[in-house]
Amino acid sequence: MGGHDLEGVLAQAAAWRAEGRGVALATVIRTWGSSPRQPGSRLAVEQGGAFVGSVSGGCIEAAVIHDAQEVMAEGTSRVLAFGVSDESAWEVGLACGGKIEVFVEAVAPERGRGLSRELLGEIIAARREPRAAVLATWLDGSAHLLLSADPAHAPAELAAAVRGAVGSDQATVVDTEAGAVFLEPHLPPLRLVVVGAVHVAQPLAEMAALAGFAVTIVDPRRAFATEARFPGRALVTRWPDEALAEIRPDARTAIVTLTHDPKLDDPALVAALGSPAFYVGCLGSQKTHAARKARLGERGVAAAALERLRGPVGLRIGARTPAEIAVSILAEIIATLRGAP
Q: Are 102 and 45 in contact (CB under 8 A)?
A: no
What is the structure's pLDDT at 89?
A: 53
Mean pLDDT by 10 residues, the chain (341 residues): 72 95 94 75 93 82 92 92 63 61 92 90 87 92 89 86 89 91 91 97 97 95 95 95 94 94 94 95 90 92 92 93 97 92 76
The CATH 3.40.50.720 portion of the chain extends over 191-338
What is the structure's pLDDT at 151?
A: 81
Residues 193-230 as b/e (b if ≥16 CB within 10 A, e otherwise) read bbbbbbbbbbbbbbbbeebbbbbbbbbbeeebbeeebb
**129: closest CA among 149, 111, 144?**
149
CA pair distance 309, 163, nearest whole angstrom: 28
CB atoms within 10 A of CB 19: 9
Instruction: Count Cβ atoms within 10 A of the Cβ of residue 161 and give its class: 0-12 exposed, 13-18 middle, 19 or more buried.
Output: buried
The DSSP code for 115 is: B
Query: Whole-prediction pTM value?
Result: 0.75
What is the structure's pLDDT at 1?
A: 45
Q: Are 106 and 75 in contact (CB under 8 A)?
A: yes
CA pair distance 11, 259, nearest whole angstrom: 38
CA pair distance 254, 74, nearest whole angstrom: 45
Which architecture, in CATH terms, is 191-338? 3-Layer(aba) Sandwich (3.40)
